[in-house]
Structure 1
Amino acid sequence: MGWSNNPKDFIKQIENDLCDYQKKIVADALQGVIEASPVDSGAFKGNHRVSINSIDTGFNENIQDKTGSETLAKGLNILAQLVPFSVVYIQNNAPYGKVLEYGGYPDPVKNGSWVKGKGFVIKSVKGFSKQAPLGIYGVTFTLIKEKYK
């Protein structure tokens, strides 16, 4: 009795299926962190970075994406290059990212943040961003973990 198909072809199919599944998970995670991100200038949302097999340490305050659509498209474009058995990183290197994730804004707020046309606006409560009171990455990855048990 012999093989009707070459076992190497089967292995290649499994690798491709694994890679497709990884892309699906990463795309969901990227969309999750983008949607969970607070928006002021759009710099935090615009600086979510996807990289493969190496960490991207960049941050550019001038990259601003209030809707997140450009950030998602850019990340999915990078993700299209994924090959089996790669490590994918999603990160944001904004200097204020840790405070958005874990809290640490002044409590109580003294003046708030100056917003042109509105004056001082209080954007945090009890040390956490009003727009992301539970953080961004931790919440997203808990949801991803539950979805892909």
Structure 2
Amino acid sequence: MAGWSLSPVLFADQVEQDLVEMQRNIVIDLVQEITIHAPIDSGNYMADNIVSIGSEDYSVNTKLDILGTETRSAARAALTDLKPFSTVFVQNNSAYGEVIEFGGYPSGPSVKITPDGYSRMAPKGVYGISFIAVTEKWT
């Protein structure tokens, strides 16, 4: 007769811990990619990358973060209470976040803006290419 040599109950907690650790690492990798690809002027866009658990956080950060160090630290801190099967949100609430991602700056080509209205520092956006990079790493 087939059966378990060990009851699944004995390792269920370990599986949940491993799941949380993997999810935490994926989110940290995503935030790392975002800070690599984020355009930097004043540091406002960088500081507005927010990680939250369970629901979106629509607050706007008034801090400035030119290097991404504080943004990555805040992401790690937000994940300290991560539980198994939680939904994690990574978002940017900057007023110009959508334009950085999808182009369309209204002032046209300049030293800072491409003809398509993208930031010259992020001509392919930030979140889309960061998501692709993390997906390639974790699949």
The question of a shared fold, defined as TM-score above 0.5 by the shorter chain, is answered with: yes
The CA deviation string for residues 3-39 of structure 1, in whole angstroms up to 9 with x for no partner, is 7755323111111111111111010001111111101
Aligned residues: 137
1:107–1:125 CA contact under 8 A, matched in 2:
no
Larger Rg: 1
Distance 2:47 2:108 in 1: 29
Shift of 1:90: 0.4
Do structure 1's residue 134 and structure 2's residue 135 form an aligned pair? no
Name the Cα RMSD after superposition.
1.8
TM-score, length-normalised on structure 1?
A: 0.85
Distance 1:105 1:4 in 2: 62
Distance 1:135 1:105 in 2: 12
**Structure-1 residue corresponding to 2:112:** 123
SS at match of 2:77: helix
TM-score, length-normalised on structure 2?
A: 0.91
> Could you tell me the percent identity over the aligned residues?
42
Gaps of 5+ in 2: none
**Structure-2 residue corresponding to 1:86:** 86
Gaps of 5+ in 1: 113-121
Distance 2:102 2:90 in 1: 17
**Structure-2 residue corresponding to 1:32:** 33
Structure 1 segments, 4+ long, off by >2 Å, are 1-7, 106-109
Shift of 1:106: 3.4
Distance 1:108 1:25 in 2: 36
The CA deviation string for residues 76-117 of structure 1, in whole angstroms up to 9 with x for no partner, is 0111211100000000011111100000023643xx5xxxxx
